[in-house]
Amino acid sequence: MSILVTGGAGYIGSHTALELLNAGYDVIILDNLCNSKTESVKRVEEITGKKAKFIEADIRDREALDRVFAQNSIDAVIHFAGLKSVPESWQKPLDYYENNISGTVTLCKAMQAAGCKKIVFSSSATVYGAENESPLREDMPTGKTTNPYGTTKLYIEKILQDTYEADKEWSVCLLRYFNPIGAHESGRIGEDPRGIPNNLMPYIMRVVVGKLPELTIYGNDFNTPDGTGVRDYIHVVDLALGHIKAVEKVLGETGCNIYNLGTGIGYSVLDIKAGVEKAIGRPLPFKFGPRRAGDIDTCFSDPSKAKAELGWEAKRDLDKMCEDTVRWQLGNPDGYGD
């Protein structure tokens, strides 16, 4: 079976490509490298001892996509390609709508023309908005996203649901990720963000390697046990393995299904700091700062639907998430380099 992985050179895509190769799938990675490097793909091949086909192309380029489908027999698509920065999406909403939404529509049209109607899509817990109470369940209302990035995920979910409603030959899996952290335990692939990271764990890693002086914790007056924000951090390898189950589902039956991919456990910013300190064996410099606009108290999943229907659950605990992230970062202080 051959799987097209859009955005497969990126953080989650590279870990998923690795698990697909390990599971015996043929993997074709399509990425425009706007937020990644081919080094990740080389390292996936090095770790697995297997080859992935890499195509540098943009999901908005219909002709390139048509060529990919004409030249390869593709059984299903896992669609990671997209822009993902919340603050950047406020500055450049049109870029986000064009890249994420138009890109997905172009991809689906190329898939439809080629008769490949099986897709697993990277959605996000952000579609639950700020009003639902955790644990978040797939049947809770969506629609009140709080930033343009989140709105792209909400609209794409709707586009894919409508596509299935119009043509029941489609098989769609919408995966709502919570907060992915961690790295492959080889320490050879991991998250490599450009510039100053927005997300907690990549920011902490810059402090660990001495590139930033200290962590600023955004607020200690949230309505949580220790006052800092609580999130459902999930090891990226567990997340990747969730995609293997999802791809089996779309290959096996038609339908349109939504699954949370989270652990169901909420950890605070101070819990994450403590986990990293345990992994590095020293205290992490930090200070408390004001809240960041838009941050909510608590967000964690009810992951029971994925367990019941996909037979998947996260297995890696917080210590493992922190150890693996630290191993990657200390072994690669400059990420994948230039």
232 is a contact residue toward ligand NAD (CB under 6 A) = no
**Which of 50, 295, 304, 330: binder of ligand WQD (CB under 6 A)?**
295
185 is a contact residue toward ligand WQD (CB under 6 A) = no
- Quickly list H helices, 26-181: 39-48, 62-71, 86-91, 93-96, 103-114, 148-166
275 is a contact residue toward ligand NAD (CB under 6 A) = no
Selected range binding ligand WQD among 11-19, 160-168, 215-223, 238-246, rule: CB under 6 A: 215-223
**CA-CA distance, 246 to 252, in Å (whole number)?**
10
**CA-CA distance, 58 to 6, in Å (whole number)?**
9
- C-alpha distances in Å from residue 266, one per residue of 134, 136, 182, 271, 297: 9, 11, 16, 10, 11
Q: Which of 149, 164, 177, 267 is catalytic?
A: 149
Among ligand NAD, ligand WQD, none, the one that 55 touches (CB under a kind-dependent 5 to 8 A) is none
**CA-CA distance, 328 to 174, in Å (whole number)?**
29
286 is a contact residue toward ligand WQD (CB under 6 A) = no
CB of 105 to ligand NAD, least distance (A): 12
- C-alpha distances in Å from residue 35, one per residue of 7, 40, 67, 178: 9, 11, 23, 20
Active-site annotation holds for 25 = no
**Which of 22, 216, 220, 254: binder of ligand WQD (CB under 6 A)?**
216
DSSP result, 36-61: --THHHHHHHHHHT---EEEE--TT-
Among ligand NAD, ligand WQD, none, the one that 312 touches (CB under a kind-dependent 5 to 8 A) is none
CB of 255 to ligand WQD, least distance (A): 24
**Which of 172, 217, 237, 314: binder of ligand WQD (CB under 6 A)?**
217
The number of beta carbons lying within 10 Å of the beta carbon of residue 194 is 10
**CA-CA distance, 258 to 198, in Å (whole number)?**
27
For residue 216, list its beta bridge partners.
Answer: 287
Positions annotated as catalytic residues are 149
Which residues contribute to the site for ligand WQD (CB under 6 A)? 84, 86, 124, 126, 150, 179, 198-200, 203, 216-218, 229, 231, 269, 292, 295
Residues that bind ligand NAD (CB under 6 A): 6-7, 9-13, 31-36, 58-60, 80-84, 99, 103, 122, 124, 177, 180
